[in-house]
Amino acid sequence: MTALCDHDINSLSTELQQLGHNPIHATRLLREYYGTGGRPAIERMPIARTLREDLERPNRLMRSTILSRRESSDGTVKLLIGFA
The tens digit of pLDDT for each residue in 16-54 reads: 999 899 999 999 999 999 998 888 888 888 999 999 888
Which of the pair, 57 or 76, is modelled with greater confidence? 76
Answer yes or no: are the C-beta atoms of 49 and 71 closer than 8 Å.
no
Answer yes or no: are the C-beta atoms of 24 and 9 closer than 8 Å.
no
Q: What is the pTM of this model?
A: 0.64
46 contact partners, CB below 8 Å, separation of at least 6: none
**What's the structural domain count of the chain?**
1
Give the domain range for residue 16.
4-83
